[in-house]
Amino acid sequence: MENIKNFVEELSVILETKRNEFNSQILPKVRENYNIQSSALHAVRNTLLKKRVIHDDPYKYDSKMTEVEIPSKENFADSEKSQRNRNPLGTLRNNAGICQQLLSV
């Protein structure tokens, strides 16, 4: 019984140490890196929109999260390239919004 009590106390101390390490060192770096990546992606997107390489999705948030599908990793013909690369920008914005909400918690 004493061994279990010592183990639980030791485990709680280690977990508290790891929690403090995550909160003070790791999570701020992750948040900072995410913000850098997000702003870089936003800049690239705006540049592509200005050069009319891509166009804004008129339906924006028309799909539900249950309708979002992971693209297949199979090879495809060059004629199918334009169809395969049509990922609505609204879906990408929706996913980015969800990530932003998770990190701001």
Q: How many CB atoms lie within 10 A of CB 49?
A: 13
pLDDT the model gives residue 18? 95
In this predicted model, which residue has the larger pLDDT, 102 or 56? 56
pLDDT at 99 over 90: no
At 54, the pLDDT band (50, 70, 90 cuts) reads confident
pLDDT the model gives residue 43? 93
Integer Cα distance of 39 and 27 in angstroms: 18
Q: Where are the domains of the chain?
A: 1-52, 56-105
pLDDT the model gives residue 104? 62
pLDDT digits (tens, 9 = 90+) for 8-42: 999 999 999 999 999 999 999 999 999 999 999 99
At 56, the pLDDT band (50, 70, 90 cuts) reads confident
